[in-house]
Amino acid sequence: MNYLKGKHIVLGITGGIAAYKSVVLLRLLVKAGAEVQVVITPSGKEFITPVTLSALSGKPVICDFFTANTGEWHSHVDIGLWADAMVVAPATACTLAKMATGVADNMLVTTYLSAKAPVFVAPAMDLDMMAHPSTLRNLDTLRADGVTVIEPETGELASHLVGRGRMEEPEKIAGALNRFFTVGQSLLGKKVLITAGPTYERIDPVRFIGNFSTGKMGYALAAEAARRGAEVTLVSGPVALSRPAGVHVVYVESARQMLEAAEKAFVEADIAIMAAAVADYAPEQYVGHKIKREHDEVDSIRLVKNPDIAATLGKSKRAGQTLVGFALETDNGLANAREKLERKNLDMIVLNSLSDKGAGFGTDTNKITVITCDGETAFPLKSKADVAADIIDCITA
Ligand code: C5P
């Protein structure tokens, strides 16, 4: 379905080789019925001419704050307010850095700072620039500011090197915008609770029992739910991720703390998604001082079972509340997931298998099967952001 018709889109073009693909993107958006205002950086003009862009968009391309011969002022504020969405494609390392720090030295970045609408960036650069800590840090900052990053692909680059940094194909960028307008504010007025990350169970003041969960799936779900208008409470174990824009985060450490925070938020929640990798056991006793290594051996650390947060919420679930769990399995996935669906009184369970390449802990991708009492749907390997969108689509379907 085409949801781009009549939408006002600011297409920001910066100075990268991939700018030639922006012409195709512009054509696709215009063909879909969108009104597109191109804003280009001075170096963008070195790669693609404004004549081509204005002919395709049917509007003069904006580059400068003023038109030199008439003195006409281009209002970045007006363009920012006019936009239903802004997409910067290609987004160079330089423009991403300026956006992340608020450097307003050209029309494109100034328009970004004035934009009230959601902003998308499609990075394009050489693999080393893409992998540089400063680029990754700037992208993290932009994500935390609510910008959607349309992840670059891995492939042959303009430098003939092969790596990550190819701008996503125009069809996919147009598709991401279309999906944004499709889902709109489908969770407006809904309260969503999400648990994410590992739990740490303290042994002594310096040691704990934990697991390899990074929290990426849960954080992607929180960002997606917030983007769709939900009021999101994210109960997060210890992770190294920044707070998704518009999400209320409750930071916890242990399973018991996570249970307490989740039970509190569940009272008012319409939807709860249990994406945390909760430690199954905790040491029975916490040793208040650092256990010394002079001991030849530590006899044992007795473990006791942690509360099952999903099952506890399942017991108090009211009519109208939707409870979703995850099952990370190494074998017998479907059967185990179905058993958990029933035992924990869940409405839906998302199965991911550690035996699938690219799925599970730590990766930026996941491959899931969504299981309800009515049946199951298997999805291909996708970015965790896309997987989050699929899961929320299934919940709201
Ligand atoms: O039983 P298992 O750990 O495989 O179940 C996974 C699901 O249950 C996940 O949704 C996880 O977040 C949730 N869970 C929980 N509390 C636990 C263990 C798992 O909420 N103690």
- Tell me what pLDDT residue 130 has: 96
- Tell me what pLDDT residue 1 has: 64
Q: What is the mean pLDDT of residues 174-183?
A: 85
Q: Which of 102, 106, 143 is nearest to 121 (CA)?
A: 143
Indicate whether residue 310 lines ligand 1 (CB < 6 A).
yes
Q: How far apart, in Å, do the first and last CA atoms of the chain sit?
A: 16
Indicate whether residue 255 lines ligand 1 (CB < 6 A).
yes
**CA-CA-CA-CA torsion for 225, 230, 231, 232, nearest 10 degrees?**
-10
Measured between alpha carbons, how far is 391 from 375 in angstroms, rounded to an integer? 15
- Tell me what pLDDT residue 71 has: 67
Q: What is the mean pLDDT of residues 292-299?
A: 73
Q: Is 69 exposed, middle or buried (0-12, 13-18, 19+ CB in 10 A)?
A: exposed
> What is the token pair recorded at 227?
């983007």
Average pLDDT, the chain: 92
Indicate whether residue 231 lines ligand 1 (CB < 6 A).
no
Compute the distance from residue 374 Cα to the ligand 1 centre, in Å: 21
Q: Which of 31-45, 127-141, 343-357 has the lowest mean pLDDT?
A: 343-357
Task: Considering only residues 236 and 358, tell me which one the structure prediction assigns the higher pLDDT.
Answer: 236
Compute the distance from residue 323 Cα to the ligand 1 centre, in Å: 12
Establish whether 306 is a catalytic residue. Answer: no
